[in-house]
Amino acid sequence: MSDALIAERTEVCQRFPVNGGMLVGVQPTGNTFEVQHIHMYRVLDGKIAEHFANRDDVGMMRQLDLLPPPPLLSSQQAGRFQQSEEGHVRARTASSSRFLRVGSPGLRLDNRHHSAAKA
């Protein structure tokens, strides 16, 4: 089931969740995973001529306990990030005190938190 499916002329882009609990060739860990895949296709004469994919294999392997968690941020690095009331993560840019919304399509400046970022 697709979260998003976009088609225009010969190009098709699809985003969908992938979940499970096993990885072929690896002993089961008892954990499950859910990650996002994005696949892009070029269709010619009704057939897929090209296929590109962006998958979160590192996220999947971390959820299955096959990779260690990411390293902890230093207090200086952690100060660059902020969680919004809606649950979005924002990162402070190096050149200003404004925050960019990260983790969603299309980074956007969020000027509502500009004064809070200076405090």
**pLDDT, tens only, 27-43:** 888 999 999 999 999 99
Provide the 8-state DSSP code for 45.
T
Q: Provide CATH code, domain 4-63.
A: 3.10.450.50
Least confident of 1-5, 15-19, 74-78, 83-87: 83-87
Mean pLDDT along residues 81-110: 54
**Residue 89 φ then ψ, to 5°:** -100, 135
Position 16 pLDDT exceeds 70: yes
pLDDT at 3: 83
Mean pLDDT along residues 66-86: 70
Instruction: Specify the residue for token string 């296709």.
Output: 41
**Summary mean pLDDT of the chain:** 74
Residue ranges of the chain assigned to CATH 3.10.450.50: 4-63
pLDDT at 27: 87
Q: Determine the Cα–Cα distance for residues 111 and 108; give it in Å rounded to an integer.
A: 9
**Band of residue 68 on the pLDDT scale cut at 50, 70, 90:** confident
pTM of the model: 0.55
pLDDT at 81: 67
